A and B are shown apart, each in its own frame.
Chain A
């Protein structure tokens, strides 16, 4: 027999629906209590997230690594030869090495741009169920992190600090659909607005319709007033396709971020902006093709063949 529903059931359903609508209204009106609840839940969850990160670190990027199997085949062949214990140690070592490499590149970037940074470790990545792209890091207001600070990684812009808790902070990644940043093209200095699309690709909308975009153009952060939320000069991405629609008001293009958001292990929060705009100093150097070595063999013929006995 199907459930027919009763007055009590209907009343309960109505009360619950009205409560949820009430919560939505309160949140949209910016009531502090709800922000406090989210802050409280993050404060409670952050020790568990740290523990979860430690447990999951050897295999959390396993599926994204599969897509780059060709690149890591040689490495995998080497690992296959090892026994289980050695393999585990090697994975842990590789993890540490990768983080070290990321730290080094990040320090190089910050040094060239004269940014004062505070390095942080990613402790949790936001769930995809809300179609948002976020990351939680292990430093917060106790370490001097404030809202709207720029977050960089080894290859360039990673995102911006969205929420700050005492010992952790929530980063809105540049790939998030709600992410917008003013950028300029290195060299021509033309400006535009870059919007995240939920993946590593973004859409650039130029402000000036007289500008000509080219594939391979490098985009840098234009910087904000008082350097919040964005410090100037941070590499953002490169143009991979230009939309040349005749009817478009302004030119647009597809951009690929320098940052691989699925493999962010360590990041740095820019806590101090540079005194001078670094302009194009941080434009990544294009990889040069390695020249093939030419081997010259000189053969000197013998003066006359000698008779053999």
Chain B
């Protein structure tokens, strides 16, 4: 059972990662655009248990770290996403009202993206990564949050179905 879940999850993760790296990154959107892979990882965590959330964060972060366009050291995104995904899964778990409510999940994901980017900035500063002008950082931070707010409602049903299919859960959004 767990082998099926793991292999199915890995396939979905790699597929969405490829879409992000080969297609979404090509389109230059104003305000920094969005990361479908980050949205996916956070939605997946929001629908999962905290343990699965942490593992999701580890896998997603490691894949982002492997991206050649990633500026920080390998492990930086991994660390950030472990904590963010665990936090989101922890907030949603056990509370059926928030888990079953798509609006709550959308706002959790937006907050997660914002927090992950801010954490990347802070850890980047600590690790000596150059991050650019303050204005540009603000544009990307708020731009990505707004894009995430716009994109997540459309992707949530698809990701929710994939999650249900993988973990055989009856409830779907």
A positions within 8 Å CB-CB of B: 1-3, 5, 8-9, 12-13, 16-17, 19-28, 34, 37-38, 41-42, 45, 48-49, 51-53, 55-56, 59-64, 124-132, 134, 136, 163, 165, 170, 176-178, 196-199, 262
Q: Let me know if A124 and B25 touch, CB within 8 A.
A: yes
Task: Name the contact of A124 in the complex, choosing from B21, B38, B133 (C-beta under 8 A).
Answer: B21
Docked CA distance A37–B65 (Å):
10
Docked CA distance A198–B121 (Å):
14
Query: Known contacts being A163-B68, A199-B133, is A17 close to B82, with CB within 8 Å?
Result: yes
B95: interface (CB < 8 Å): yes
Query: Known contacts being A13-B54, A170-B68, A178-B129, is A24 close to B28, with CB within 8 Å?
Result: no
Give the contact-size bracket for chain B. 35 or more
B86: interface (CB < 8 Å): yes
Can you identify 16 A-B contacts, CB atoms within 8 angstroms?
A13-B54, A16-B54, A16-B57, A20-B58, A23-B75, A24-B79, A48-B18, A125-B25, A127-B67, A128-B140, A128-B144, A130-B71, A170-B68, A196-B132, A197-B133, A199-B132
Overall SS of chain A's interface: helix
Docked CA distance A249–B60 (Å):
46
Distance in angstroms from A209 CB to nearest chain B CB is 24
Q: Let me know if B69 and A170 touch, CB within 8 A.
A: yes
Q: Let me know if A3 and B58 touch, CB within 8 A.
A: no
Task: Name the contact of B78 in the complex, choosing from A1, A20, A63, A124 (C-beta under 8 A).
Answer: A20
Q: Let me know if B22 and A124 touch, CB within 8 A.
A: yes
B positions within 8 Å CB-CB of A: 18, 20-30, 32-33, 35, 38, 49-51, 54-55, 57-58, 61-62, 64-79, 82-83, 86, 90, 93-95, 117, 120-121, 124, 127, 129-133, 136-137, 140, 144
Q: Let me know if B68 and A63 touch, CB within 8 A.
A: no
Distance in angstroms from A207 CB to nearest chain B CB is 20
Q: Let me know if A131 and B140 touch, CB within 8 A.
A: yes
Task: Name the contact of B33 in the complex, choosing from A128, A131, A163 (C-beta under 8 A).
Answer: A128
Distance in angstroms from B36 CB to nearest chain A CB is 10
